[in-house]
Amino acid sequence: MKSSLPKPLARISHFERLGYGLFIHWGLYSQIGRGEWIQFHDKIPVNVYAKLASKFTASDFDAPALARLARESGMRYAVLTTRHHEGFSLYDTRGLSSFDAPHSPAKRDLVQEFVEACRMDDIVPFLYHTTLDWGRDSANCSEKKFAEYLDYLNDSVEILCRHYGKIGGLWFDGNWSRPQSDWKEDRLYATIRKYQPEAIIINNTGLNARGAKGHPEIDSTTFEQGLPVAPDRRGWPKYVAGEMCETLNSHWGIGQNDFNFKSPADIIQNLCACRKVGANYLLNVGPTPTGGIPDYEAALLRKVGQWIGRHGNLIYEGKPVPATCPGRDFLLKKGNSYYYFAHDLSRRGDAHVVLQKGGNGPRGVDGFPARIKSVRWLDDDEKGRFTQSPDGSLLTLDCTGYNYGYDMVVRVAELVVA
């Protein structure tokens, strides 16, 4: 007998419909410009590193512009690093520590600005918070000191839950730093549920444990820097979502000498790979030392937003269809229509101007669940050709490629049910 499939809680269904989010890694490390782990990799003494706070001005941090960028890029949520592994907080820690933005030259609660701006632009604010703290040696200290640190961590998270209105969720990272210790997750998550009962709780399992479920209160697994896979949820006691988090280049914090950036095509393909299996895509930017978004990143994100804008709510609301498609192709269903995502198509045109490549032509779908009456390509409204077996389960779609002047990277066809 097949095990039953769990039904997602309302908050998890809502999270899955958000689909695409903006990750923002910003802190003192941004001033060095060599990534967010520079304190650890260069073995910078804590007291020396802490001096960076005296130069943290946040003069170019514009929360409304950041939220507007997310919206124009087709994103529905944003996650800000309220405190990273360095231990510096972008929010008012209200007496827990003076190592925070209000005690720096910025003299501002940057998390407050962030959540308010997100709400004004209909972006759901999520808050990242480290569970690892190099400044307090949380990974190597004694169990007694670690217990004291966990009190500090819990109090810090309680501040975020109590003083910033309704948030979309909490995004944690760092438990992998001390795998044999009791992180008292029951207490931490109970604190969140007390003040933010509908918040999504995520705790990153890291590069080497992509898709691991973790604590029962966790609402989504993580796939850090790797494409997600479709889980087999049969028999799970709780429906857990999935989310891939990825950098635009090779670092989470700004890397002044990192030129290895993804293209709009890369991002479109990765977004499609996530939605193919029902997972969210959380894409990171690393602001400048003063909090601005670099020009290339902003332009890239907006270009991808134009592609998303061509497909309405399909990227957010479409559900995976269990049919077998060739290569990277896949199907989503929204309402009464199905949508075919065709990869690796080439352009059509005169041989003197268009490189003649393969990829175009008939593609078969096995296990198609309905009979269709028409096909329409969304980019140019071209009518598509298809054939279907008598029982409807085998569908052959003629993927004709792009007209000259088009290249959508992934072309989408609407299949209208008869």
Tokens of 276: 């193919």
**Mean pLDDT (whole number) for 119-132:** 98
**Mean pLDDT (whole number) for 100-126:** 98
What does DSSP assign to residue 373? E
What does DSSP assign to residue 155? H
Please tell me the predicted confidence (pLDDT) of residue 312.
Answer: 79
How would residue 193 be classed by pLDDT, with cut points 50, 70 and 90? very high
**Mean pLDDT (whole number) for 356-380:** 91
**Residue 373: CB atoms within 10 Å:** 10
Sign of torsion over alpha carbons 7, 13, 17, 19: negative
d(CA 353, CA 347): 10
Please tell me the predicted confidence (pLDDT) of residue 358.
Answer: 64
pTM score: 0.96
Q: Is the pLDDT of residue 223 over 70?
A: yes
Mean pLDDT computed over every residue of the chain: 95
d(CA 15, CA 220): 9
Q: Is the pLDDT of residue 1 over 50?
A: no
Please tell me the predicted confidence (pLDDT) of residue 148.
Answer: 98
Please tell me the predicted confidence (pLDDT) of residue 354.
Answer: 60
d(CA 127, CA 111): 8
User: Can you list the domains of the chain with their CATH numbers?
Assistant: 10-317 (3.20.20.80), 319-417 (2.60.40.1180)
Number of residues that this document lists for the chain: 418
Task: Using a pLDDT cut of 90, give the percent of the chain over it.
Answer: 92
Please tell me the predicted confidence (pLDDT) of residue 2.
Answer: 56
Please tell me the predicted confidence (pLDDT) of residue 401.
Answer: 86
Please tell me the predicted confidence (pLDDT) of residue 347.
Answer: 84
Q: What are the tens digits of pLDDT across the range 381-409?
A: 999 999 999 998 999 999 988 988 899 99
Residue 10, exposed/middle/buried by CB under 10 A (0-12, 13-18, 19+)?
exposed
Amino acid at 346: S
d(CA 45, CA 52): 12
Q: What are the tens digits of pLDDT across the range 50-91?
A: 999 999 999 999 999 999 999 999 999 999 999 999 999 999
Q: Is the pLDDT of residue 352 over 80?
A: no
Amino acid at 261: F
Q: Is the pLDDT of residue 357 over 90?
A: no
Please tell me the predicted confidence (pLDDT) of residue 349.
Answer: 67
